[in-house]
Amino acid sequence: MATRTAPPAAPPLARWRINMILLACLVLALANGRKLFDVQVVRHAELSGLAATEVQSKRTLLPQRGIIRDSDGGVLAMNVDRDTLGVTPRLIDPERVDTLALVLAPLVGRQPSEVKQLLTDTTREYVVLGRRLTPEASEQVRQLDESALVLTPEPIRVYPHGTFASSIVGVANHENVGISGVEGYANALLSGVPGSMEAEIDSAANPIWIDPPEVQAPRDGAAITLTIDPGVQRIIEEELAQAIGAKSASGGTILVLDPQTGAVLGMASWPFYDPNRYTEYSPEVYNRNPAVSDQYEPGSTFKVINLAIGFQNHAFTPDTVVDDPGYIARAPGCCSNWNGAGHAPMNPANVLLHSSNVGALQFAEMTGAEHFYQGVHDFGYGEPTGIEINGEGAGMVQWPDSTEDWRPIVLSTNGYGQGISVTPLQHLRAIAAVANGGKLMQPYLIKQWCEGEECHTIEPKVIRQVIDPEVSELIKPMMVRTANNSYAFAQGMWEKCLYEGYYDPNGNSGGVALVPGYNVAAKTGTSSIPDGNGGYENATIGSVIGFGPVEEPKFAVLVKLDRPSDVWGSLAIPVYAHVMERLLTHYHIPPDPSLIADCQR
């Protein structure tokens, strides 16, 4: 029987070796645990924050700036996207640099050498070559198929009609912040409210939708509709540009209001500017609107207001007569008529017809300072009208109770529009009150604004009843008489009628209609321009203010020409007549055949 022997026993491991291995494992485990504790507990907040910034992204969602439209729905200001062209220089193939520089230079408006320098500037990770590229330029860049070139769209504000109504609409700067005009005044309304999107993103910064992003939608800016009638605006811009050229004026304003509502139908000021290229103009041009900012002495146009206040206070009647020898002593060198000539009898109607300073002064004195300045205040002088345009002026009135060195001569000169300054809008609003039966209206430019589907319409607002309707009816024929007997023959207008004997300097014949077929009210004024050194420039501001048709006034119009070639300012009369005539045609208001003289046919 064979015997089997037991297998040889495995040599036992030395105990110390096992212990060493266990010890090493223990040390490693402890080190690992310590690191784990450090990462998971001690630096938890810091590291989880860092991780979140890698994968979590919070983007701001920009709202669309509100569109601005005219009253016919034409878009005056809107938004489009334009590309910014950037480049990563280190990705450019050196052999293509010259070609790219030559091709890109005209697209970004730089010199090829300059573009080449930017393309080879490898010290920078990213270089902007040009902003606000035209769509055509962007397309040409895309066709280059160069991976180092990056086109990034950004929203910009554009004005499709260029210079049209630019002084009203104003400008939004390159950061889309309104800085002038309605853009500036209604910036908060137009800007909207930004939203946000918080999401996990991939390496290309696209949201990963495994965890739905948290989106707070932006609220777009309100769409604004203005009261501006594009037809009216077009007429006054054309007439103003023509007048500036023909009369060699340095500047000017034409303003049209609806006297019944206070809505601004048109507002044009020279010089015009294109808001799409506003940086090419002086800030003085695009930052202010002369129709609401300029302050000037209204001159003789203020006589209308003087008479209205006097009638309202029963200080005199249309039959009251004062002496006008052409000069009256009130202070050294004061006061005389514009031509030094006297007229008699000087009643209120003749004050307007002859533009008598001496007569106006005496009627203002009859009214007295208390009533006169209360009336001036009631007509809205000396304070901003509240029109929705940035930078409105307040005008300047020397109130007796708040002006330290006020003297009675101030009242006397204020009577014919000197020593008081007004803004064009302020003055036209006051004349509109004379036209509409005595209601001082709140002038406004914003007709409606809509946020999404919710629209708010601005209703006309009567501020106060300044004069009685009867007073208004007293003044209107006086202004028409002045227009038809004096202005219709000025500046060579209706020359044929002049030769055919229609002209009567005393206004007894009825004259001819300033605008054939219509009764149009008008009053001219000539204003001196302070030179800033206590004196006056050797130039004037010529203006005409009025309304029509008198029976049911549809428009109140102010024409103001700064420093025209004729120092008496009568050059503004034909401009006023043309504007009024075109407005009446534009609004399809038929003429009264009985108001067309034979010499006008």
One symbol per residue from 226 to 265: x for binding another protein (CB under 8 A), - otherwise; what is it? ----x---x-------------------------------
Q: How far apart are CB 276 and another protein at their closest, in Å?
A: 11
DSSP 101-123: HHHHHHHHTS-HHHHHHHHT-TT
- Determine, following the binding rule CB under 8 A, whether residue 1 of this chain makes contact with another protein: no
Structure tokens at 329: 């002593």
Q: What residues numbered 316-355 form the site for another protein, per CB under 8 A? A: none
Determine the Cα–Cα distance for residues 466 and 260; give it in Å rounded to an integer: 14
Q: How far apart are CB 582 and another protein at their closest, in Å?
A: 6
Q: What residues numbered 439-458 form the site for another protein, per CB under 8 A? A: none
Q: Residue 512: CB partners within 8 Å, gap ≥ 6?
A: 484, 488, 489, 494, 497, 502, 597, 599, 600
* Vertex 131 angle, CA 130 and 137, to 5°: 75
DSSP 255-281: EEE-TTT-BEEEEEEESP--GGGGGGS
Find the radius of gyration of the CA atoms of the chain: 38
Determine the Cα–Cα distance for residues 519 and 515; give it in Å rounded to an integer: 7
- Determine, following the binding rule CB under 8 A, whether residue 161 of this chain makes contact with another protein: yes
Strand partners, 446: 226
Q: What residues numbered 212-231 form the site for another protein, per CB under 8 A? A: 230
Q: How far apart are CB 77 and another protein at their closest, in Å?
A: 10
One symbol per residue from 560 to 579: x for binding another protein (CB under 8 A), - otherwise; what is it? --------------------
Candidates 112, 207, 384, 391; binder of another protein (CB under 8 A) is 207
Among residues 162 and 477, whose Cβ is nearest to another protein?
Answer: 162
Q: Which stretch binds another protein (CB under 8 A): 202-210, 382-390, 504-512, 526-534?
A: 202-210
Q: How far apart are CB 258 and another protein at their closest, in Å?
A: 20
In terms of DSSP H, where are the helices of 109-250? 112-119, 135-144, 166-169, 181-185, 187-191, 230-246
Q: How far apart are CB 256 and another protein at their closest, in Å?
A: 16
Among residues 112 and 591, whose Cβ is nearest to another protein?
Answer: 591
Q: Which stretch binds another protein (CB under 8 A): 113-121, 206-214, 384-392, 453-461?
A: 206-214
One symbol per residue from 51 to 90: x for binding another protein (CB under 8 A), - otherwise; what is it? -----------------------xx--xxxx---------
Question: DSSP state, 301?
Answer: G
The site for another protein, by CB under 8 A, has a size of 31
DSSP 19-56: HHHHHHHHHHHHHHHHHHHIIIIITHHHHHHHHHHHHE
Q: How far apart are CB 160 and another protein at their closest, in Å?
A: 4
Q: Reduced to 3 states, what is the DSSP secondary structure of residue 390?
A: coil
Among residues 14 and 204, whose Cβ is nearest to another protein?
Answer: 204
Among residues 135 and 283, whose Cβ is nearest to another protein?
Answer: 135
Candidates 209, 333, 453, 535; binder of another protein (CB under 8 A) is 209
538-550 b/e (C-beta count within 10 Å ≥ 16 → b):
eebbbbbbbbbbb
Q: Which stretch binds another protein (CB under 8 A): 108-116, 208-216, 332-340, 530-538?
A: 208-216
Among residues 114 and 202, whose Cβ is nearest to another protein?
Answer: 202
Determine the Cα–Cα distance for residues 394 and 385; give it in Å rounded to an integer: 8
The order of strands in the sheet holding 555-562 is 264-270, 251-257, 555-562, 536-548, 521-530
Determine the Cα–Cα distance for residues 289 and 163; give it in Å rounded to an integer: 13
- Determine, following the binding rule CB under 8 A, whether residue 15 of this chain makes contact with another protein: no
Strand partners, 422: 296
Q: Which residues bind another protein (CB under 8 A)?
A: 4-7, 74-75, 78-81, 135, 153, 158, 160-162, 164, 206-210, 230, 234, 581-582, 584-585, 588, 590-591
